[in-house]
Chain A
């Protein structure tokens, strides 16, 4: 039985995890490599590194960190942030990334998904979409959720999957940061539209939110979150045990 994946996401700027972390016994760890090792040892099924660096120095630092992580952590690693060209794919894959997530880069250049899928395979290309309700419709937002592209979100996701995106991360801007559960309605619409794995993002505040997600939407394959893991509000081990108790397949 394939298990539902739990994926912590690390935002990295200038070589540090943004906002830091605050575990019991692991205060203020800001090294992405150490945090990745911690998560890998404590039940994470996969990791996402998101590069939110603006400078060239920061970018070089990010690839160093990636290489060091791939040297020490042996679970799948997805990298996103600043991926605009096939050369960007190449840069992070060479440093040990297994999958590459595209967001604004695909909006600016919709051919990117297809080009990357042809060169590296569908399994390597993850479409990350930030979506929000506007006048009753789901719209795609670019630039970290700041800019409404006007595109209908489900159509956009279907189009990218058609071009070769092998997985979809749906981040609902409406529920992101609210910590009152995932956006089940929006996720349902995505699951109905595509047949590739769907990763839910935005809104998890507690263990029960993940249980509700996988129970209500059995077609969702994974749950992604950041701060609730970093600040120890949800421990992945506890989450996995709760999933198993609820009959949701989990890797313990």
Chain B
């Protein structure tokens, strides 16, 4: 208060207080406050009312559209030769963008849950109602989530003519857009769509790779003719994905291309090559893996031994014996298991022959026997 009195001159404050407590000022102030409250209330009420009206309209439209859609699908399934027209009321409503988007959502649900003849009818209705225009608008949007939705609609409604657009989106800077586009391409074309791999510069995340592999699983396998080109690409995520494809769909003709990646600078790629070797091993696989073993990380060394267990060619005895003295116990155990598996007849002499650490090896041998 003292501070306030210092700032405002005494006379000024006195005058202000005289005006503030005057009846006229208080009356005017009350009226202004009441009008303001009333305006705020009216705005809130108006907002609620508009939302309610909109909600009612939406529900009414959805009911009407669902009814028509169900009737259209049922009639077309039962009598395909009959022409089923759209009601005038619905036709008028569908001129508005808001209702067209609602209709699109309903068709998306139908396409997701139906198959067979009914599903084909849903796609035909999408075309008949010219909802592709809405999808195209979404594809041109600056908001990424709308573009993703547009891409989703393209592949859900089997719009093969938009493949070029999807190919362009497959290398988009936005990870969500490119992920959806890549998934959409594979959803539409299966193995043939994998040609996008050569064109992309952005990386494929692990999640994208899992999704693509899962989606490909639904298609009849086709030869991966572009494999040699994929394996020498600069984009390491594509090389890794190509190797995963080779693991899932082994093809011996690509063995020479695959094995060159064993000396790749990326550890994950070398790990994947080691895994692939279990499916398409050849006569030189053992020697190549043994030669690579010393240069590898512990995880990849374990991978090499796991692969040697699975493949037909037999590793060198001295290589395995040497690894019984490896500092990592997991490597020791795998080496012992390999000896027991690949050289069962002379396993005891091999394990116990060298007197150094004989007791430890005996324990290991017993452990391996117990595992077997």
| Chains A and B belong together in one complex | no
